[in-house]
Each structure stands twice: as C-alpha cells, then as structure tokens.
A and B are shown apart, each in its own frame.
Chain A
Amino acid sequence: MDKKINTAFYVLLCIFCIFVLRLWHLQVIKGSEYKKLDERNRLRVVDVPAPRGVIYDRNDNPLVKNVMSFDVSIVKEDIPKDYEILSELGKLVVLTAEEIKKRARATENPFEAIKLRQDVSFEEVAKIEAKKIDFPGLQVEVTSAREYLYGQTASHVLGYLGNPTPKQLSTPEYSDVPRQDYIGQFGIEKRYDSTLRGTPGKKIVEVDALGNVIKFVRIQKPVRGNDIKLTLDINVQSEAEKALEDKSGAVVAVKADTGEVLALVSAPSFNPNLFVGGINSKDWKELLNDPRKPLMNRAIQNHFPPGSTFKIVTALAALEKGTVTESTPFFCGGATTFGRVFRCWKDGGHGGVSLHRAIVESCDVYFYEIGKRINIDTIAKYASALGLGRPTGIELDGEASGLVPSTKWKLKARKEKWYQGETLSVAIGQGYLSVTPIQMARMMAAVVNGGKLFKPHLVKDEDIEAEPESVADINPEYVELVKRGLIGVVYEGGGTGRAARSGIVSIGGKTGTAQVIGGAVKGKYLPDEFQDHAWFVSFAPQYNAEIAVSVFVEHGGHGGSTAAPIAKRVIETYFNPPKKDSEDVEQENQNTGEQKQEEQVPENQEQAKPNAG
C-alpha cells in the first residue's frame, strides 16, 4: 500500500514539474510577448479633437465660438435588455426604446459607446449623473461644439459642420480626420476647413474591458486651428438681412476699391446651430424640402436677367463705341419697332430724352435705339470686361456662371446666327442675359473704381494689397457720365430709384426688373409667384466710391420700390455703424460727418435718418 501511495505522489510530482515548466514558458520565455498583449488589452489611442479656429468679421467681432458640449452615450453591452428599463433610459435622453436599439445596431463591437444625445444642458447633465447608478455604462463626455453667435445671420457664408463622408475620408485632404470628428461641410467652414481644423492630438489611455477610461498614460496635445478674419462687416450683414425681412432674395455689398465682401446675404437663411452635434433627420428633411430653398445661396447661385440694371453696361459700351454721345437724343413715344414692336415700360413714353435722362428714368426706347445700332459682341465685350457671365471666384462652393450672349455663343449653343432684334432685348438687360447678384455688385464696383475688376473675397489677407484681376478699358469721362445718371436715378425728379435717397451719404444706383412671365402685363394684380424679380445695383458715395451693393428680391416687383430701400439701409449702416463704446467708432462717425458736408446734399431732408453720432 505504502509503495502505491508513493507512486501516486511521484506521479503528482511529475505533473507539478510539467506545470512549472509551463509557467517558465509562459512567464519567462514568452513573458514579454504576453506583456505586449496585456498592454494591447488595456491601452487605447484616443483622438483628441483640436479646437477649431474662430471666424471673425472685419472689425474683429467673433462670429463663431467653441463651447463645451455634454454628450451622453452608453456602452453597447450595457444597454438594458429589459424593455421597461430601456424605456426608462429613453425618457432620460429623450429617445424611444426603439431608437436606442436602432442606434446600437450600427456597431458590432459590444464595447463601443453609443451616442444617445449631444449638447445636453447643464441641468440635464446633473439629472443624468444622478441616474448613472441605475444604468451602468452610461457616460457623459465633454466635447467641443461650434456655436454660431449670430444664429441665422451670414449662415450661407459661414456654413456649417458635419461628419466627414466616407468619400471625403478617402481623399488625402481629410486623411488625418477622425471619423467622428466634425468638419466644415458648407461655406467658409468648408472652404477653409484645413486652416480652421488644426491637428487633432492623441492620448493614450488605459481602459477596462468595457472601454471605460481608467487613467491617462500619455497625451500629445492637439494643435488649435488657425483663426480666420473675414472681410464681412457683421453690422452691414445683419442690417441687410433685416432689410430683406421675410422676402426671398440676396444682397451683396463689396468694397469698391478692393473687392472685399462686406455683406453677402441670401434669404431665407438657415440656422447653422442646428447642425451642431449632427443635425437630426427631421430638421434636415425640413430644410431640404422647404419650397423656399433656404440652403441655396441666392447671392451666388441665383442667376436671372439683370433687367434695366444692365443699362449701365449698355450705356458704357455705346459711349465707348461712339454709338451715342452725351447729347444724342432719341424720342420715346412709348414704343419702337424693329421687326416687331418693342415697348417702353412707360406707356405714354418719355418724350425726347438724352442719355442722362434715359438712365434716370430708365427709358427702354432709348436703349432699344442703341440696340438697333450696336453689335451684340460689343455689349458682350464690355459685359465680360466688367465680370458678368462667369463665376467671380469667391471662396464659396456652387457659384453659377450666368450668361452673356454673343454671336459666337449663339452659333455654338443654339446653332443659329444672331438676330439684331435680340440685341434690343439684351440692351435693356433681358433676353438670354443672366447674372448673379454677386456679379452685379462686382460690376458696379468696377464701374465706379475706374474699371478695376477685383475678385470678390471673404477672407482678409492683411499683408497683400488687393490686385485687380483685370482693368476694363473705359474712358473715365464716360464713367462720370454714367455715374451722374445713376445719382440722378436716386436724387432727380422722375428717377426710378428715389426710394434709395439717403441723408447720410450720396447714393447712386440703377433699378431693374427681371421678368418672370413674358410680355408686360401692366396694372393688373398678379399673384406673388408671377411677380417680377426686383434688382437694385448701387454705389456710394458719389465721389471716391467706397461701397457697391447689389440687391435682388425674388418676386419683388419693381426694383425701385422693393430693392432700392434695402440698398439704402445697407449703405447707411456701412457709413454710419451702430454706436459702440469705443473711441475709434466716434472717429468714424466724425469722418462720416465731414464726408457729408462734401457730398451732394439730398433733396429730401426729412427722409434722412438722424446721424447716430
């Protein structure tokens, strides 16, 4: 018996030896290998999003800021299986049990955190923290979110953020962007994304099997994105949006001598704050299906015939070509014939008119007469020289090119030769012509600054002096002639743009109407959707013009009554900014006062706004 017991003990001893050998193998021979596996278990590399650069307006007012946002998520494995408990959790984060389940299905990884809610308020965070014991795996994370300080204002310029699309992630530009990060998907946020974005940092953290962070091991700090200073003046921008009220349309204001965009408005607009933390599908659908298309940037995407505003171009072309001179008279009897009858907007006619009165009263017949005598390619040459019919190159996506017709164009596009009769339509800004509001603002600027065609731009580069793209070869004498006409439009009796009269600064401009339905149906009531689109293209002040503004109001009817007052408000805000508590503002106001004395005194003093200074 004792012998057998000894045998049993020896057998056990052998097994012990095997165990010790195995231990030696695991812990000593392969120890470092298992240490790596152990670390791979625990250590995770987590992206640290870089704070995005701030966007300022030209006066250093921040337009956006980065704010703390509390996000609620739960580890997939910890989602309650019981329906009632799940509903209870749903109530806490304002989701139904089904929605939570749906979100959880997006991932296979049982340890991944499922985002339940973003940008939770402080009070709610406290509520959720208190309930954390009931729902293990529920976490509140602090992330950075974008806040657009002026809400809807300048939304088409600023844009919005969104998760990168799979397609974007595959391009080298976005290769270092974490999938859950937000990048610019519209507007300046998109165009200057690489500037604003910064470089995300990384941190190495220790996590447990459920992915809970236990401690930080190492952190590589993110590099903050660069700030951007826009040329936009937020006061001018806001005033333009206010002036448009609830109409659809666009306003573009540029600095005449640089092309800096002071305001770029498209109405209706949207609230970019809706996109913060990912827009929900209901809001997104509403934006997409809104018949008024709030996501469309009308300032650069709408292209319509410029109507009578184009008479500025026709007049310059005719003067340059010698078709007319300052004193060339034509008689307007309300219509003229050229193959068919071409009607003036004024039934009774303007009588005998010179070029100046033709501009002031917007006499169509005068320009038809020019149209009879001028080559379409001459008009096209000057229209192109003033930047019409092609994208301006502003730093926004989706700009429309519009169209300036020519004989060459018609042969190519329509396979037809040009008829002189069509030139008559083009001469008054109708026909094949189509332009965008930003092109019109740029054209106006080029006319009043001596032909210098600047690229309209939104981002201010302090170091580089603005260089014109090209200089239109126009005789300054003719420019003066046209400018006088444009001042007359606003300040002379019978002028179509009298609604733009300002007591602060002398404004010149041209009204225009883009026909919605062919032929003039006058004096009859028309429903809104058949009302013509209204244009007003303007500049100020008369001498050494600083600002050029184009206003476009969809279905606004006459440019003189709807668009001109908007331009006036925009221009007045530029010259007379709302009062601030700083000294340099006062100085600005004094400057405006001096200018006022130099400038032409407006006729209607009672319309002048009291000087805020």
Chain B
Amino acid sequence: MIDRRLLKDFDWGFLLMVIILALIGLMTIFSATRPLLEAEQHPFYLKQLNWIILSLVCFSLMLIFDYRWLVRFAHIFYILGVVLLVFVLIAGRKGMGAQRWINLGFLSFQPSEFFKLFFVGALARYLSGLEQGIKLGSKQLLRMLAGFLIFPAILILKQPDLGTMLILIFIFTAMVLTVGIEKKILITVVVIGLIATPVAGKFLWGGLKDYQKNRIIAFIDPQVDPQGIGYHVAQSKVSIGAGGFLGKGYLRGTQGPYRFLPENHTDFIFSIFAEEWGFIGSLVLFTSYLFIIWRGFETAKQSRDIEGTYLALGVTYMFSFYFIVNVGMTLGLMPVVGIPLPLMSYGGTALLSNFLALSIIENVRMRRFASYY
C-alpha cells in the first residue's frame, strides 16, 4: 500500500490546482446555465459536481497502484480499447449525429475518451522497451504507425470524432519527436507531406462530413453566415470581447444564459468565463493551466524510470493539446473542433478521463524517489 514516503512526495499543489480548475468550471457552468425566465436552476452543475467527486475518488484510487503495473498491462488495455471502439461502431448509441456512446444501462460513456489513456499507456510501454538514446529509424516508425495509430484513428474517425482522432495523431507525433527520429526520415516526411498535402487534402476534404467542412469554412471566414456555421465562433468572440479588461463579474455574463452562445457550458465554457472575469481572470486561468502542464513536464524529467517519463509526457501532451485546441477555437484562432476544455467543460466522461490522466502524472511524481519492489 501507500507508505509514508509516497505521501511525503505527494504533489499537493498539483492536486489542489486540478481541483480549483474543476471548481472554477463548476461555477462557470452554474452561471452559464442559470435560469432567466424559469424559476429553477437546471441541474447541470449538480451533475458536474457528482462527476467531480467521482473523478476525485478515482484519482485517489488509481494512485494506490504503481504506474508500472499500468505499463505492464498497457497492451491488454489497448486491445480492450480497440474492441470497445469496434463495438461502439456496431452497437453504440447515436447522439447529435455521431455514434460515440456505449450504454451500460446505468450509465453511458464514450470509449474513445478512455482509449486515449490506453493509447498513451501502450505507447509508453512500447517506447520504453526500445533501446534508449537511439533515434527511431524508418522501420521502427512504420511499425509504430501500423501498430498504434492507423487502425484506432480510422475507427474513431468513423464515429465520427474528429477531435479525438486529431489528439491521437498529435500525441503520437509529439512522442515520436521527443524520442527523436533520424534526420533523413524527418526531412523525407516533411517533403512528402508538402507534396502530398494537396492530393491527400482533396481526398480528405471529400471524406469529411458536411458539418466538418462547414466548420473549416467558418473558421476561414466566421462572418459568412452569422446564424449558421460561423455563428459559434462569432458569438464566442463577442462573449470574450464583451468581457473587457476586468470582466462583467460573476453571474453577470449574458451570452450564455441568454442562449446567444450555443454549447456555452460545454465546448465554449472558456468564452463564458472570459466574459465574466475579463482579461485579468483569463490570464490567471491560463497560468493555472500552464502550471499543470509545467508540472507534467517536470514529472517526466524527474521520473525514476523511462516508463514514468513516457507516461507523464504522453498525458501532458494530451492535456496541452486539449487546452490549445479548445481555447484556440473559442478565440477564433482555430477551426471549431468539438473538443472540451479539460477540467472545466460540462461532461462526465471527459472529466473522469482527464482526472485519470492527471492522476497518472501524480502517480509518477509521488513515486519519483520510490525504490523498486
């Protein structure tokens, strides 16, 4: 079990920051969904509170197990995850134009949310098995692509869940680059990429669903149709901009409760936060996220073994990517991809998966000085 040493090395600051961000999210959900004409507050915030408590319990329980056990069984989890991805395509519940959920009767969840964790675990397990300090060759790279990325990426795109697929590709690329690859391969990939993009781009564009195409068009020019595809981004910018330097103040935001900004308590929660807390509040929020990411990288560097490094690194990349794509989207800097803001957006599965991911960082960190047993 957990000995004294582990508790001494426990990063309380990290956990505290995670909890604070989750509570800020809770407050913002409360404000975004507060009633105007109806008498009763919609219970979104209560549901989210339940999920935060459940996530905290899971966070703590996960810490009991040494992360090396996770790495040891990572390939089994990975295969299980792929099976679930296949299953969801066959028998999953449809919702909002996508087939992402598995219904267990008492609760439904998105297997792709958890698959990201299995993916990071399996990648860490594979990379730590390689001879360290040697750059990846072309053979290695192709094997990894075939073994880890292509099959699940296609399965997830099929749901379709563009956001999660992009996350997988990003984690994979970032991890491979961190390990290092031979220069000539890097150059080859870049050159092929440059040549192939127009060709593949056409093929990819044809393969996209209409709403995905619209989102990209809307990103290029959000003013094309204010009520249609660009509406989300235009209203998000209005929300953020109207916040000004100091913000309108908590529970004073209007864009969310007045329903001008759709998805205000899920993907666009940051816009609501920025409307109420202004530039100053947003800066503090950014710094808090940066703190968590910084601690992730520190943990990777300080890990007692290479498995821990890769695990912490994979999770940190994932967390960073979520943050960048979501905030970039709300700021109108990136296309609308249905990705929630980690820890703050409303949504149980995503919250739990983020807590579990961050729990891995804490797991590696608290055991950085632990002896093997």
Chain A residues, Cβ within 8 Å of B313: 5
Instruction: Name the segment of B42-50, B63-71, B289-297, B337-345 touching the other chain.
Output: B289-297
Write the residues of chain A forming the contact surface with B, with a CB cutoff of 8 angstroms: 1-2, 4-6, 8-9, 12-13, 15-16, 18-20, 22-24, 26-28, 30-35, 37-38, 41-42, 206-210, 212, 214
Of all chain B residues, the one with the shortest Cβ separation from A9 is B297
14 A-B contacts, Cβ less than 8 Å apart?
Answer: A6-B297, A8-B317, A18-B333, A19-B328, A19-B333, A22-B333, A23-B282, A24-B279, A26-B241, A27-B241, A34-B241, A41-B254, A42-B254, A214-B258
Q: Which of B121-139 contact A (CB under 8 A)?
A: none
Q: Contact between A8 and B297 (Cβ–Cβ < 8 Å)?
A: yes
Contact A26 B297 (CB under 8 A): no
Task: List the B side residues contacting A18 at CB < 8 Å.
Answer: 333
Task: Give the CA-CA distance A34 to B260 in the complex, in Å.
Answer: 14
- Chain B residues closer than 8 Å to A26, beta-carbon distance: 237, 240-241, 331
From B243, B260, B290, B301, A27 is in contact (CB under 8 Å) with B243
Which chain B residues have a beta carbon within 8 Å of chain A's beta carbons? 36-37, 174, 177-178, 180, 235, 237-245, 254-255, 257-260, 274, 278-279, 282-283, 286, 290, 293-294, 297, 300-301, 309, 313, 317, 320, 324, 327-328, 331-333
A208 engages B258 (CB within 8 Å): yes
Question: Which of B178, B327, B328 contacts A4, CB < 8 Å?
Answer: B178
Inter-subunit contact A4/B260 (CB<8 Å): no
Contact A208 B333 (CB under 8 A): no
The 5 closest A-B pairs by CB, nearest first: A34-B241, A38-B242, A208-B258, A209-B259, A31-B244
Given contacts A19-B331, A27-B243, A37-B242, contact A1 B259 (CB under 8 A): no
User: Which B residues are CB-close (under 8 A) to A207?
Assistant: 258
CB-based contact A19/B254 at 8 Å: no
Name B240's contact: one of A6, A23, A212 (CB within 8 Å): A23
- B residues in contact with A2, CB < 8 Å: 301
Whether the pair A33, B241 counts as a contact (CB closer than 8 A) is yes
CB–CB A22/B331 < 8 A: yes
Would A5 and B178 count as touching, CB distance under 8 A? yes
A209 and B258 form a contact (CB under 8 A): yes
Flag if A208 contacts B242 (CB, 8 Å). no
Given the interface pairs A2-B301, A26-B331, A214-B258, the reply to whether A41 lies near B238 with Cβ below 8 Å is yes
Query: How many angstroms from the CA of A214 to the CA of B256 in the assembled complex?
Result: 13
Instruction: Write out the residue numbers on chain B whose beta carbons fall within 8 Å of the beta carbon of A30.
Output: 241
A-B contact count (CB 8 A): 114
Checking B241, B286, B297 against A37 with a beta-carbon cut-off of 8 angstroms, the contacting residue is B241
Q: Is the CB of A27 within 8 A of B274?
A: yes
Q: Which chain A residues border B235 with CB–CB below 8 Å?
A: 41
- Minimal beta-carbon separation of B268 from chain A (angstroms): 14
Contact call B297/A23, Cβ cutoff below 8 A: no
Q: For chain A, what secondary structure do more than half of its interface residues adopt (helix, strand, loop), or is it mixed?
A: helix
Report the nearest B residue to A38, measured CB to CB.
B242
Q: How far is the CA of A208 from the CA of B245 in the complex (A)?
A: 24
Q: How far is the CB of B176 from chain A (nearest CB, A)?
A: 11
Q: Are B328 and A27 in contact (CB under 8 A)?
A: no
A204 to B93, CA, bound (A): 45
**Is the beta-carbon distance between B178 and A27 smaller than 8 angstroms?**
no
Beta-carbon contact of A27 and B244 below 8 Å: yes
B49 CB to nearest A CB, Å? 26
Distance in angstroms from A23 CB to nearest chain B CB is: 5
Q: Are B259 and A208 in contact (CB under 8 A)?
A: yes
B331 / chain A contacts, CB cutoff of 8 Å: 19, 22-23, 26
Are A35 and B242 in touch, CB under 8 angstroms?
Answer: yes
Q: How far does the Cβ of A566 sit from chain B's closest Cβ, in whole Å?
A: 59
**What is the chain A residue whose CB lies nearest that of B282?**
A23
- Given contacts A12-B293, A28-B245, A35-B241, list 18 more A-B pairs with CB under 8 A: A5-B297, A8-B317, A16-B290, A18-B333, A19-B331, A23-B282, A23-B331, A27-B245, A27-B279, A28-B279, A34-B237, A38-B239, A38-B242, A42-B254, A206-B254, A208-B260, A209-B260, A212-B37
In the complex formed, the residue of A with least CB distance to B278 is A27
| Residues in B neighbouring A24, C-beta threshold 8 A | 279
B245 and A1 form a contact (CB under 8 A): no
B286 A20 Cβ-Cβ under 8 A: yes
In the bound complex, what is the Cα–Cα distance between A41 and B245 (angstroms)? 20
Residues from chain B with a CB closer than 8 A to the CB of A5 are 178, 297, 300-301, 313
CA distance A33 to B241 in the complex (A): 8
- Find out whether the CB atom of B254 lies under 8 angstroms from the CB atom of A27: no
A35 to B255: give the CA distance in the assembly, Å.
11
Chain A residues closer than 8 Å to B241, beta-carbon distance:
26-27, 30-31, 33-35, 37-38
Cα A16 to Cα B294 with chains together (Å): 12
CB-CB < 8 A to B254: which residues of A?
A: 38, 41-42, 206
CB of A572, distance to nearest CB on chain B (Å) = 61
* Chain A residues whose CB sits within 8 angstroms of the CB of B243 once the complex forms: 27, 31
Say yes or no: A19-B258 contact (C-beta < 8 A), given A31-B241, A38-B239: no
A73 to chain B, nearest CB (A): 15
B317 cross-chain contacts in A, Cβ below 8 A: 8
**A9 engages B293 (CB within 8 Å):** yes
Q: Chain A residues with Cβ under 8 A from B237's Cβ?
A: 26, 34
B278 CB, nearest partner CB in chain A, Å: 6
- Please give me the residue from chain A that is nearest to B241 by CB atom: A34
Contact check, B245 vs A19: say whether CB atoms are below 8 A apart: no
Q: How far is the CB of B53 from chain A (nearest CB, A)?
A: 30
Which residues of chain A are near B286, meaning CB under 8 Å? 16, 19-20
Evaluate contact between B178 and A8: CB separation under 8 angstroms: yes
C-alpha gap A66/B151 in the complex (Å):
74
Measured between beta carbons, the chain B residues less than 8 angstroms from A28 are 244-245, 279
Contacting pair B255 A34 (CB below 8 A): no
Interface contact A19-B327, CB-CB below 8 Å:
yes
Q: How far is the CB of A38 from chain B (nearest CB, A)?
A: 4
Minimum distance in angstroms from B248 CB to a CB of chain A: 9
Q: Are A8 and B242 in contact (CB under 8 A)?
A: no
A23 lies within 8 A of B257 (CB): no
Q: How far is B242's CA from A42's CA once the two chains are assembled, in angstroms?
A: 12
Q: Could you say which residues of chain B place their CB within 8 Å of the CB of A20? A: 283, 286
Q: Establish whether residues B240 and A214, one from each chain, have CB atoms under 8 Å apart when the complex forms.
A: no
Distance (whole angstroms) from the CB of A441 to the closest CB of chain B = 59
How far is the CB of A243 from the nearest CB of chain B, in Å? 56
When C-beta atoms are compared, the residue in chain A nearest to B328 turns out to be A19
> Out of B238, B257, B309, which one reaches A1, CB within 8 Å?
B309
- By a CB distance below 8 angstroms, the chain A residues around B283 are 20, 23
Expressed in whole angstroms, the minimum distance between the Cβ of B40 and any Cβ of chain A is 12
